[in-house]
Structure 1
Amino acid sequence: MATLTVHVMADPASGTGFSTPEIASIRLVSLLPVQWRCTTPEIAGGRFTVEIEIPGPSVEQPEYDAVGRAFQDTGLSGWTWVRS
């Protein structure tokens, strides 16, 4: 299994309102492929981090694209992410 760490923070430049980090983290996890396993989000200071275990030996561009597609959902409006 490969692990993708996603750091999520509010994006004030988006010009839209945004949900609480608790709600956004649940929404994000619900939008990811069902075969991915996620850790409990670590929430601190209006942002959160979640580690995602992905089947396969490494994280490739299609996995990053899947996370990016999740952030196109209106339930995650006003949030942005970076990977590490």
Structure 2
Amino acid sequence: MPTKAKLLTIGDLEAGFSSYCEALRRLVTSGRDIDAIRRTLCWDYLQRLHTSLPQSYRSPEDLVARYRRATSCARAN
């Protein structure tokens, strides 16, 4: 995570959840490897949400796995 990242509240993170998921989906679709994805802000924000509210938000690892499965299924069809 960049060192100068703005500290967001949980409410701010929740408000941007769909945007972070979309950014993560685009990274997966473009073929980025997991190490590169883990260095992004969207990963950090999704991880913070999952850590703070695990009952409400899936982990970024789980989301990456889901997006990869969806991408591979779409390519197979």
TM-score by length of 1: 0.32
Larger RCO (CA under 8 A, 6+ residues apart): 1
TM-score by length of 2: 0.33
Q: Structure 1 or 2: larger helix share? A: 2
Larger radius of gyration: 2
Q: Structure 1 or 2: larger strand share? A: 1
